[in-house]
Structures are given as structure tokens and as C-alpha cells.
A and B are shown apart, each in its own frame.
Chain A
Amino acid sequence: MFAFIIRRIIQSIIVMLVISLIGFSIQHSIGDPVRDLVGERVTPAEREEIRDQLGLNDPFYIQYFRFLKSACKGDLGLSFFYKKPALEVIISKAPATLELVLVTSFILIIVSIPTGIYCAIFPKRLFSRFAMAFSTIGVAIPVFLTAIALIYLFAVELNWLPSYGRGETINIGGWWESGLLTWDGIMHLILPSVSLASIMLPLFIRLIRAEMMEVLETEYIQFAWAKGLRRQRVWFIHAFKNTLLPVITVYGVQLGIMFAFTILTETVFQWQGMGFMFLEAVERSDTSLLVAYLVVVGVIFVAVNTVVDIIYGTVNPMVRIAGTK
């Protein structure tokens, strides 16, 4: 177990190095951050001076080594726009995205699992057919459009829910701005998380349904029926646990994709999270913030996949045994 974790840590370091290298190399084609910082009247000579000040005129390897040196101390660079350490900016925006992803995952779980299981057990019922058809709509319509449609329906026409922002947030422990503790905050969380969930739901419903149907055909399930076990026991204890394995793996991968889609959702809802921050950094050519963001997201990916692998090992002991010598 210990060796496993060490291997994963080394893996995440390699990921960070590769990502930062890639991020640095494309820095120049993203645009000139100085352009966004100064007015139109500033002469090219003065712009060069600012670039010197920021260290942007040094050759590539010098800039990269400077970045690596400070990264070892935990400093991922200074954001040109926020004029604060990039890591600080990312951490301050992280809670917003994390809460969004959390609530979306929650919606995913409580909707896709019962629906998937139901559709697997009673494939011919009306609700099952309806769920299958409806779920394709979610994946067919871009999340951007879904989000705007939801805003126009629930905020403008019906006036049930707020149209943008996080609403009231409560500060926990000095840095985590949480929207989950106030009713206002929760109301603001509903539309964004439903939009985000709409892309993932079809995948999970179908996946759970397909896996479940396959598991229900297996021999040990037939044996359980033959043994005369109660229906609930067969479905939920034996069949469902075995469908979970591929679902967990897919969830780990999809979590990463969810982070990517938060960029679109956060932009529509003016949600001050990491995705929105990333988009603004691209527009402003805030290259140091961009590189820091890419590195942080890379680390998150590795961490999430590690946790997924550990859970996988817990749920299915065979994997653990097969993996060790």
C-alpha cells in the first residue's frame, strides 16, 4: 500500500513537470500579457521595459528554471492580472468549483443510480423508455445552451430561481466560501449543477443500465435466484455491487471532464470558480496563472485517479491481489 502511494506521488510529479513544460512552451502563442495591462498610448519601448520587469524577455530555459525553483518552494508564479501569487488565486476560487462539482456529483448519484437500476430491471416499462430517450437530449444539447435555456425558463419566465452568481456565502475557516450553508446559496447552486449534470447523466444512466443488465445474466445471479434469495437482496447486494466497478472508473475519468465543462457553465452563471478564472486568464493572456492552473488540475487528476484506484481495490479484492507480486 505504501509503495503504491509512493509510486503515485512520483507519477504526479512527472505529470506536473510535463504539464508545466507544455504550458510554458505555448506561452508565447497565447498572447502578450503586457498588452492587456497597458493603455494604447504606451510606447513599444515602455512595453519592453515592463516585459523585462516581469522577466518575459529571458530565454525559455531560464524562465522555466526560475519557475521550477519557486515551484519547489510552493510558489507557482505571480498572476499578472490579480497581482497576487497564482496559487493563492486558484485556492481562493477552488471552493466555488468544488462545491459545484460536489452538488453535481450528488445529483448524478441520486438520479442515475435508481434510474439505471430501474431501466435495467424493467427495460420494457414506459418510464424506462422515456428515461432513455430523454437522456439523449441532455448529451445532444451543448451545456452552454442547456444553461441559458434553464436561466430563461426558471429565472426570467418563472422567476423561481436566481439568474447568476453564487448568492450569499458563508466563510468557513478563513478561506472556504461556502454556498451550501445558506438557503440563498443553495438556490444559486441548483441551476448550474443541473446544467453540468445534464451532460453526464445520460452516460451514467446508460452505463449502469448496460452493466446491470449484463450482470443480471451472469451465472452467479442465476444461482442466487435459484437459491431463492429475496429480490432486493439479489438486485442491490449482489448485482449492483458488481456493476459499480466500471462505473467508479468511468466516474473518475468523467470527473476530470466535469472540471473542463465547468469552464462553460461557470461563464454562463458568472460563477467565480476555477473554470471562469481560467477563461479570463486566457483572454487576458495571464500566462503565469494559466500555467499554475494547468499544473494544479494535473495534480487533481492524478489524485482523483489514485483515490478511484484505491476504492476499486477495496470494492474488488481481486484487483489488489492481482496487482501485487
Chain B
Amino acid sequence: MKKYLFVFLALVMVFGLCGMAQAKTLKLALDAGPVSQDPQVQLSGGMLQFSHWAFDPLVRYAQDMSFEPRLAVKWERLDPLTMRFHLRKGVKFHSGNPFTAKDVKFTFDRFYKSKDFKGLFTPFESCTVVDDYTVDIKTKKPYALLINMATYIFPLDSKFYTGTDETGQPKDAVVKVGPSFALKNESGTGPFKVTSWEQGAKYVLERFPDYWDKKSPGNVDKIILTPIKENATRVAALLSGDVDFITPVPPHDFQRIRKDPKTKMVTFSGGRIITVQLNQKRRPEFKDVNVRQAIVHAINNKGIVKKIMKGTATAAGQQGPKGYKGYNQALTPRYDLKKAKALMKKAGLEKGFECTMIAPNNRYVNDEKIAEAVVGMLAKINIKVNLNTMPKAQYWDEFDKQVADIQLIGWHSDTEDSGNFSEFLTMTPNKETGYGQFNSGNYSNPKIDELTIAAQSETDLKKRNAMLQEIEQILYDDAAFVPFHWQNHSYAGKNNVGIKHIVNTMNFPYLGDLVIK
């Protein structure tokens, strides 16, 4: 009897240990934690990252930028204005409620209550429920980027968010400044549910046992996210083994992490372009295309990528990166100091001139150093630049007021599409329509305006791509702005964390699919 008991206990222990061995916990350290649990209050990279963990979108981008069906399994265009989505069956929310078409409509309608998202969804008209697993999404005009926008639709559990909370406020209220139910509670269909939330300190997410994606290779059961703001501390935490996965990683620590046998580095090309804009209204010299071209030719993009970014960027000659539809292979970075000097001579400004510049110092990777490099490079063509850098909290007001002749700005397209860059950065600034909102150079070219707007409603992809490429060509020839590079995303982790397979251009690591060996 005792022998059987012993064997039984041994078996229990073995199975217990096996069970424990399967329970993988990921200790993650980002530079900041998600702002809240409501995916529709703030449009930001951090919130979108979180949305992919606790919620699921209709479709999402794969590593090669193709669309992967998630909660929508199939879609077809019914007419130029309508797209029909067939939804996945058998999906449950964290609350236990089943996922159906009315949850998609609930989420869609809620976008218009959010200050951040309603601008993104202005081309859309409506979302209609056809049956429990079919919705029709209509746009006001033929819209080429409908599926791109579907990557932002993370269906919320309509039943869970119906009713009023303890303070009498409706549960589905979208509140930016003040408390709300949705900011502190979530019910999505995503691989992880939120089990503990200490704002700014520690966030714990645990695997949702009824998660629909049984094909996902992911084996992480628990994520403990602790934000670590200070770059050096975050790297130290990884090297000492206190955390398993960190991002972002400061470029000067790449070597250190690569050398350490216990950790590894992964980088992935990103879509954020770093540029400076030359203000033609403030500085008449910038009106001359020769001067602008001279400046473009004086900037050593590859040098900046090598020395300042330590290789973690891709030198750029245009707005959109490779993989975007407007990418034009012929438009390469042009560094030619001789030519720059010749152009300045042609413009009659061999003696050069003085101008001012502002740049943020804590917004983009090494933004301050890049700005200082610009000062040095332009000095070579006799342009004396007086640089002022400041934290991002003060920078954007100064940027809008156009206090300097040269202003630095980085941009990433919400729609993962080339057209977006021109809409905000190079179209003629128009207060009513909002176009050219961040065009502080005041560059104005009616052809660019025409092409960008036409591309929005061109559903023939071949025609559209040609339009976008033409835009890039015009901006290149006109030296409308000065491109530097596209920032890469950097990740580092212990050797057993399978980072390579879950990262993408948008910097949304799909932790639901992460495999820890």
C-alpha cells in the first residue's frame, strides 16, 4: 500500500513539475507602461501595443506587411463604397460573452466619441450588422486604405461595456481627462487578460484560457510588465537577469548586449522618418530650390546612421520606407559636399548665411545628436546654424509657432501608407481641412496637393502606387524637405525568448505568439 502511495505521489510530483515547467512567465520592461485599459482613448504606439495583447483586431499586419485575418476571416468588396467582412465564429471575450457582429458595430461607433480616433475615421460612413457574423463597412467616397484602417478596429465586448458604473457614468464613456470605467476595466478577445494594474509601476497580464487562436505557437502564460524609464537601468536589468525582454534599446548598448553570452539583440526596420523642414516664409533663402538641394547634398545620411545611430537606422532619400506603396527605388540619399558647394555658388550664396534651428532632445532616438550633426555639416557650406534643443513637452508649441528657420520632426504613418506623409508634412497648410498640419516649412506645391487627395480615393492599386511614387519624385526633385533616415526598432532579450518572429515594422510585438524555449 505504501509503495503504491509512494508511486502515486511521485507521479503527481512529476506531472505537477511538468505543469509548472510549462508555465512560462515573461518579465518585460518597456520605457513606459500603457496609459490605460481603454484602447480608444489615446492613439499612441504604447496603447496599440497593449491593444494587441488584451484585444484582437479584425486584421493585422504580418512581418512582410501583408494582412493577416484575425477576427475577420474573409472580406470582399461589394461596391466601390462598401466592404463586407465575414467574422470568425466561436470567439469569446474575457468576460465569457461571445463575440458577434454587434460588438464590431459597437466598437466602430465608439470611435467617433474619441477625440484621438475620430479624425482617423472621417472617411468612413457607417458599419452595419448584416447577421451575427457579417458586417458591412461603408465609406463616404471610394477609400483605398479601408483594410489598413481595419487594423485599428479592436472589437470591445459590447455587453461588458453597457450600463452605468458606480459613479453613474455610462460604462462605455470615452473620457480623456478624468476617471472612467473603460480606463480601468477591459474585456477583449485577446490572448491575455489584465489581472493586476498599478499605473506606472507594474502590470500583470495572464493568458486567457479560452483564447480562440489555438494555432498560435505562443507559450507565455503570464506577462509581468515593469516600465523602466532610464535607458541604462533597463539594460542593466536585462544583463543582471532581472527581466527577460526589453525595448527600446539605446544604440550605444548594442555591442554590450551582443557580447554577453546570455542575451541577444534583434532590430527591425521601422517606418518613422526623421527629417528637418526648411521654413520658406521665415527665411527667403530657402525659397531657392538650389539652396534646399545644397542642404540635402550637405547632409551625410549614411554617416549619421553609422556614427550616431550605430547602424540602427536606414538612410532615407524620400518619405516612405521600402515596403510602402509609394517607395521609389531610384530616390536614394544624396551626399555630395562638392555638389552642395557648387549649388550654393549657383544660388549666389557662396558666402553663406546665418539661420536658426530647433530640435527636441527626448523625443526621437538621438535627436539632439542628429541636430548637432546638422549644425556641423551645414557649416561646411557656410551656413551658420544656431541650434536650440528642448524637451518634447515644450518643443511642439514652439514647432507650431514656427520659431526657427529649420525644425526637426519625425513622422510615422498611422495608415502604414505613403500618402499619409504628404497629408501632414508636405501638403499646403490649410487650417480648415487640417492638411499640412505639420508642414512647418510652408512648402506649397499644387501638384502635390492634387496627387495626395486623388490617391486617397483611387482604388485601382496600380494607378495609386504610380501616383504615390510620383509624389515622392516631385518632393525629391524639389528638395521639399531634408530626409535623414528611418529609425529601426530595437529589442533585446535572454537567449530563450523568441523575439525575431513576433516583431514588425509598426513596433507592435505580438506577445500572444511569443515562444519562450
Interface residues of A (CB under 8 A from B): 29-32, 35-44, 46, 50, 53-54, 78, 80, 82-84, 148, 151-152, 155-156, 159, 162-165, 267-270, 272, 276, 280, 282-285
Do B230 and A155 touch across chains, with their CB atoms under 8 A apart? Answer: no
Closest A-chain residue to B43, C-beta based?
A: A39
Docked CA distance A122–B239 (Å): 44
Do A164 and B233 touch across chains, with their CB atoms under 8 A apart? Answer: yes
Do A39 and B42 touch across chains, with their CB atoms under 8 A apart? Answer: yes
Do A159 and B241 touch across chains, with their CB atoms under 8 A apart? Answer: yes
Docked CA distance A35–B233 (Å): 28
Give a binary string over B240-279; 1 marks a CB under 8 Å from any A CB, 0 the rest.
Answer: 1110000000000000000000000000000000000000
Q: Is B393 an interface residue (CB 8 A)?
A: yes
Do A46 and B393 touch across chains, with their CB atoms under 8 A apart? Answer: no
- A82: chain B residues at CB < 8 Å are 199
Q: Is B303 an interface residue (CB 8 A)?
A: no
Docked CA distance A53–B397 (Å): 19
List 21 contacting pairs A-B, 8 Å CB cutoff, sorted by A.
A30-B393, A32-B393, A32-B396, A36-B393, A37-B177, A39-B43, A40-B43, A41-B414, A43-B434, A50-B176, A148-B236, A151-B233, A156-B239, A156-B240, A162-B242, A163-B237, A164-B228, A270-B226, A270-B228, A282-B393, A283-B393
Docked CA distance A268–B116 (Å): 32
Q: Mark out the residues of chain B between 164 and 189 whose CB falls within 8 Å of any chain A CB in the assembled complex.
A: 175-179, 183
Interface residues of B (CB under 8 A from A): 42-44, 115-117, 119-120, 175-179, 183, 199-201, 226-230, 232-233, 236-237, 239-242, 362, 391-394, 396-397, 414, 424, 431, 434, 437-438
Closest A-chain residue to B398, C-beta based?
A: A31
Docked CA distance A69–B424 (Å): 43
Docked CA distance A39–B118 (Å): 11
Docked CA distance A260–B453 (Å): 53
- A280: chain B residues at CB < 8 Å are 200, 229
- B434: chain A residues at CB < 8 Å are 43
Highest count of chain B CB atoms <10 Å: which of A44, A54, A270: A270
Do B362 and A37 touch across chains, with their CB atoms under 8 A apart? Answer: no
Tell me how far the C-beta of A57 lies from the nearest C-beta in chain B, rounded to whole angstroms: 14
Docked CA distance A164–B229 (Å): 11
Do A38 and B115 touch across chains, with their CB atoms under 8 A apart? Answer: yes
- B42: chain A residues at CB < 8 Å are 37-39
- B394: chain A residues at CB < 8 Å are 29-31
Do B177 and A80 touch across chains, with their CB atoms under 8 A apart? Answer: yes
- A268: chain B residues at CB < 8 Å are 230, 232-233
Closest B-chain residue to A32, C-beta based?
A: B397
Do B393 and A35 touch across chains, with their CB atoms under 8 A apart? Answer: yes
Docked CA distance A156–B200 (Å): 24
Known: A53-B177, A270-B228, A284-B393. A164 touches B116 (CB 8 A): no
Docked CA distance A54–B176 (Å): 11
- B392: chain A residues at CB < 8 Å are 283
Tell me how far the C-beta of A32 lies from the nearest C-beta in chain B, rounded to whole angstroms: 6
Do B237 and A164 touch across chains, with their CB atoms under 8 A apart? Answer: yes
Do B229 and A267 touch across chains, with their CB atoms under 8 A apart? Answer: yes
Highest count of chain A CB atoms <10 Å: which of B183, B201, B230: B230
Closest A-chain residue to B42, C-beta based?
A: A39
Highest count of chain B CB atoms <10 Å: which of A38, A46, A80: A38
Do B396 and A41 touch across chains, with their CB atoms under 8 A apart? Answer: no
Do A156 and B236 touch across chains, with their CB atoms under 8 A apart? Answer: yes
- A39: chain B residues at CB < 8 Å are 42-44, 116-117
Tell me how far the C-beta of B323 lies from the nearest C-beta in chain A, rounded to whole angstroms: 22
Do A155 and B393 touch across chains, with their CB atoms under 8 A apart? Answer: no
Do A270 and B236 touch across chains, with their CB atoms under 8 A apart? Answer: no
